[in-house]
Structure 1
Amino acid sequence: MGKSKTYGIRAFINDVHLWLGLTSGIIIFLVCLSGTILTFEKEIEQWFKEEMKVQATGNKISLSQIVDDPNIQAKGQLMAITVPTDNAAPYQLSIKEDPKQRRGSTYEVNPYTAEILAPQKTGMDDFMFSMFKLHRWLLMDIELGRPIVGIATIIFLILSISGIVLWFPKKVKWKTVKAGFKIKTSANWKRINHDLHNTLGFYSCLLILIMGITGLCWSFEGYRDGLSSLMGAKVFGNRGAQPKVDLENLKGDKAIDLEQAVLLANNTLDYNGTLTITLPNEKNPVYGFRKIADDSWSTVAQDQLQIHTSGKIIHKELYADKPLNVKIASAIRPIHTGEIYGTFSKWLYFLACLIGTSLPITGTIIYINKLKKKSKRRRKLATA
């Protein structure tokens, strides 16, 4: 009699990988597919919209005139203005058209004529919003869909880790390990499918882990708070601890206008870069500024400044001075979406997400082929 096979740790990991993959495959497929599409969400939406062209002739209209323009005021509450360094680029205005809006709508304005280009609504906007809801909630009610996506994400993390363990051969030698780095295109379709699952899964694993670990911050508040505690910095926090300022004592007879505040901000943050201005209001008489250098290596490397309407700088925060944990915690969203390093990282995430979309398919095909193989063996034994 032959020796019976023992059920070892590798067999256990293989079974965990198999059954978790089969039970969560459809959800993982949908989440990864929508994530792949959303990687270039802004770029795709922009392809379907008419680009506003600005002719840099004469002098620009002052920001104060734009803020006070009746046509702009009629749109709603102006929340912020983004001023690019390119003289041929329009200003971007964030306007809350309805008090119930969480975020304002973005309008483009010609800085030389104050001509307004309203946000163009296309079918692609609706499609992308559907992809967003699919990615976050599976098109379900938020309270139901969010935890389901969260649980599927946890399963995907387990699949990624177990997949790496299974990627290594039983006997680790360079000859056997090397085979896992490439797809044998000359083999039959079953072997090619196996290599697509095994090899592409290996190459995309690190980014899939990063996307999964960060993605859970949207699914579970407790996880987000725990990660914040572990890192020693608030996840989604976009600025460090700010000093408490007695705004009443800063009130003076004379207040600086918007142009003076912008001049002071640009002198303080003395480099070429896109400036985003948050306007003061009755409750908070403070100009807020965020500036990012044109040659910045990262989309989140923004310096921040707050200037009281009296002209006093009450808070200054340079990105370079932030501790590493604060930088990471405040960049969870762009780390998750791939925007962290601009177009370069977006392409890497796009490919990783595309591979993630394929893994449930190739994995299921591997399982079906194994079932067919076992069925053939049983038939042979039955007829022997």
Structure 2
Amino acid sequence: MVKCTLQVRDTGYTMMVKRKKEAKQQKKSLLRIVVDKLHLWLGLASGIIVLIVSVTGCLFVFQKEINEKIYHKEIFVTPETKGVLPLSVLRQRAQEALGPDKPVSYITTWKDADRAWEFMTYKGNDTALTYFGTVEYYESVMVNPYTGQVTGIIDYKNNFFSIVKYIHWSLLLNTAYGQPIVGWSTFIFVILLITGLIMWWPKRWTKASRQQSFKIKWKASFKRVNYDLHNVLGFYSLLIALVIALTGMVWSFQWFEATVYAVASGTVTPPQIKQPESVKTAVTVTGDPLDIAFQAALPVLKDAKRIFVYPAAYPTGVNTVGGYKGKETYYGADELKFDQYTGKLLGRRNDTHRNRGEKLINMNYDIHVGAIGGLPGKILAFIVSLICASLPVTGFYVWWGKRKKSKKQLVKPIARLSTVPL
């Protein structure tokens, strides 16, 4: 007698799927298996941080242009034919606006005749946990250089782009706590870029493989488009993304900054720079020493678009006057040191005096935000940062899709009509 039964053979099917998977993996080299696993698990571990850092990087790229629109009345003035007031007078007006408890610590003057001069004050607190505690105040008084009128006070502590910057910098935490998280996530992102390139590299350079590797198939299914966005855009953004990530790591790790310096300069020993000091004497000078120093620096810094001033902050400190050759870049500055009591020039260090390592470290910010390439460089940095923000999202969806597909295959029953003798 024969009995017909319907048998669900989940175990057999599971074993079949497992054998197919193992057979597929056996075709891969050990290196490729390790690369695939690294890319997957490191991507899942760092994805959220990479997304946050990339999005805030996108937002920050054009902060200068947007801030100039928002604070147009404060930043810009009507040019006048008469000369500007002495720097000490403008500083005094700014100090009056701030009050005695917030000393001016940094001054920015402009060669452009339509710009207000900026007098900044800042105080931090390294013991706090979050950004809002670590920054007690961070303000700038904008002063019309022709009239001495205060055009406005900008609260940078609560400025949108300052908050964006510190999310990018340390996730709004104290730098000591937040920056290592961002730094190691960036380090992992560098590994992801390298392993991603290995995974992207076609086994054979055929016409079909080139189309799959270099083109997005927009008319395909959503899963395929998502895969192409991750695969193809990841490849095109690779080099710039690496530059952005590596320049970010310079700030996060002293060992990495030292490595960059050593590679660029050819030495691990930084130059010994003698720091001059001011000496208080009984000699009287005509005029304010800060004005004397500033006026002496102007012809020396004739090619500078912006001139910055660090007033002396302690009894032996000096007045530092320097010039940036670009309107928004910070590399290539020449600096002069002046006695705070007499206005006498005590020392000078031009950009040409720096070695290659120092120059590269000084360029780090401008490279990181793309400003070193002007507006095209900033646009490129914006686009690549946007792509970097998309990679954790598209990568997660690729993994999630494969995971769901694998689960469906493992639980899929196989119905068979079998004849079993009694």
Q: TM-score range by the shorter chain?
A: 0.7 to 0.9
Measured on the aligned residues, the alpha-carbon RMSD in Å equals 3.7
Amino acid across the alignment from 2:337: Q
Correspondence for 2:333: 302
Give distance in 2, aligned partners of 1:312 and 1:341. 37
1:41, 1:128 within 8 Å by CA — same for their partners in 2?
yes
The answer to whether the aligner puts 1:66 opposite 2:90 as a matched pair is yes
Unaligned 5+ runs, structure 1 = none
Q: Relative to structure 1, is the Cα distance of residues 289 and 130 closer, same or farther in structure 2, using a 3 angstrom cutoff?
A: closer
> What secondary structure sits across from 1:270 in the alignment?
coil
Higher relative contact order (CA 8 A, sep 6+): 2
Correspondence for 1:326: 358
Q: Relative to structure 1, is the Cα distance of residues 317 and 355 closer, same or farther in structure 2, using a 3 angstrom cutoff?
A: same
Unaligned 5+ runs, structure 2 = 1-18, 126-133, 417-422
Q: Relative to structure 1, is the Cα distance of residues 116 and 126 closer, same or farther in structure 2, using a 3 angstrom cutoff?
A: closer
The Cα offsets for residues 311-353 of structure 1, whole Å up to 9 and x where unpaired, read as 5433222224433221111232333333333433222111111
1:143-222 matches, within 5 Å, as 143-173=176-206, 176-177=209-210, 179-222=212-255
Correspondence for 1:33: 55
Give distance in 2, aligned partners of 1:273 and 1:106. 19
Shift of 1:11: 2.9
Shift of 1:376: 5.5
Correspondence for 1:261: 293
1:256, 1:311 within 8 Å by CA — same for their partners in 2?
no
Shift of 1:267: 2.1
The answer to whether the aligner puts 1:12 opposite 2:46 as a matched pair is no
Correspondence for 2:77: 54
Correspondence for 2:148: 114
Amino acid across the alignment from 2:170: W
Match of 2:370 among 338, 357, 360: 338
Moved more, 187-196 or 252-261: 252-261
Moved more, 19-28 or 167-176: 167-176
Shift of 1:112: 1.8
Shift of 1:21: 1.4
Amino acid across the alignment from 2:350: L
The Cα offsets for residues 51-110 of structure 1, whole Å up to 9 and x where unpaired, read as 234223352322232234473573532223322112221111123579996885221101
Count of aligned pairs: 379
Correspondence for 1:84: 110
Shift of 1:262: 2.5
Moved more, 348-357 or 181-190: 181-190
Match of 1:369 among 393, 397, 401: 401
The answer to whether the aligner puts 1:95 opposite 2:129 as a matched pair is no
1:298, 1:341 within 8 Å by CA — same for their partners in 2?
no
Amino acid across the alignment from 2:38: V
Give distance in 2, aligned partners of 1:251 and 1:179. 79
Q: Relative to structure 1, is the Cα distance of residues 129 and 234 closer, same or farther in structure 2, using a 3 angstrom cutoff?
A: farther
Q: Relative to structure 1, is the Cα distance of residues 91 and 68 closer, same or farther in structure 2, using a 3 angstrom cutoff?
A: same
Amino acid across the alignment from 1:194: Y
Shift of 1:201: 0.7
Q: Percent identity?
A: 27
2:56, 2:168 within 8 Å by CA — same for their partners in 1?
yes
Amino acid across the alignment from 1:82: T
1:67, 1:73 within 8 Å by CA — same for their partners in 2?
no
The Cα offsets for residues 273-321 of structure 1, whole Å up to 9 and x where unpaired, read as 3212222455236331111235x79542222222335454332222244
> What secondary structure sits across from 1:55 in the alignment?
coil
Q: Relative to structure 1, is the Cα distance of residues 233 and 114 closer, same or farther in structure 2, using a 3 angstrom cutoff?
A: farther
The Cα offsets for residues 134-170 of structure 1, whole Å up to 9 and x where unpaired, read as 3333345655433332332222111110011111111
2:244, 2:368 within 8 Å by CA — same for their partners in 1?
yes
Give distance in 2, aligned partners of 1:218 and 1:272. 26
Moved more, 103-112 or 168-177: 168-177
Moved more, 186-195 or 211-220: 211-220
Shift of 1:354: 0.8
Q: Relative to structure 1, is the Cα distance of residues 85 and 46 closer, same or farther in structure 2, using a 3 angstrom cutoff?
A: closer
> What secondary structure sits across from 2:359 in the alignment?
helix
Give distance in 2, aligned partners of 1:262 and 1:315. 14
1:94, 1:105 within 8 Å by CA — same for their partners in 2?
yes
Match of 1:351 among 383, 397, 411: 383
The Cα offsets for residues 154-205 of structure 1, whole Å up to 9 and x where unpaired, read as 2211111001111111124576345422222232222211111011111222
Give distance in 2, aligned partners of 1:344 and 1:269. 27
Q: Relative to structure 1, is the Cα distance of residues 378 and 275 closer, same or farther in structure 2, using a 3 angstrom cutoff?
A: same
